[in-house]
Structure 1
């Protein structure tokens, strides 16, 4: 399965993501710039903030109340489809997912 990250500099990176792997784990493993995952996916930071492409937003689901609160403290203003990538796990339904890394 694959996901594509659109980077702030205008480039894109498409990488393999294992089933069940979080998109933060995949981004860190593939050295995607701008996705840090400082807390390791424990939902205690916002360094894995991404903006889900609107075409994919319904499939990734909505943020939990706690994730929603964490999105309020991101370095870059949140967008309507902002998520913490540690909270999105790869499934067959997300194969081809497009994420935007905020600048």
Structure 2
């Protein structure tokens, strides 16, 4: 499968670093992960439970000033995916963010 470095950033926040991959190239692996979690039932106290993932994707390149900026962008995208019901991937789009900032004034 796809190789990535994984890290836990908080109670329910994880990061995956796909070295040498663009966000678009990482999408296939993330989509497979999303489906695996979506199709898995967990047993909790004798009851079945289903988990969802809300995945935010942002790329790190020579134009990115700080790695923390990338993490913040991915986190905002994941939050947006969660607000829209979860079980989805949202990729950072700078044009979308500029339009939202312009609407806020």
Report the TM-score when normalising by structure 2.
0.27
Q: Of the two, which has the highest radius of gyration?
A: 2
* Larger fraction in strand: 2
Report the TM-score when normalising by structure 1.
0.27
* Larger fraction in helix: 2
* Higher RCO structure (Cα 8 Å, ≥6 apart): 1
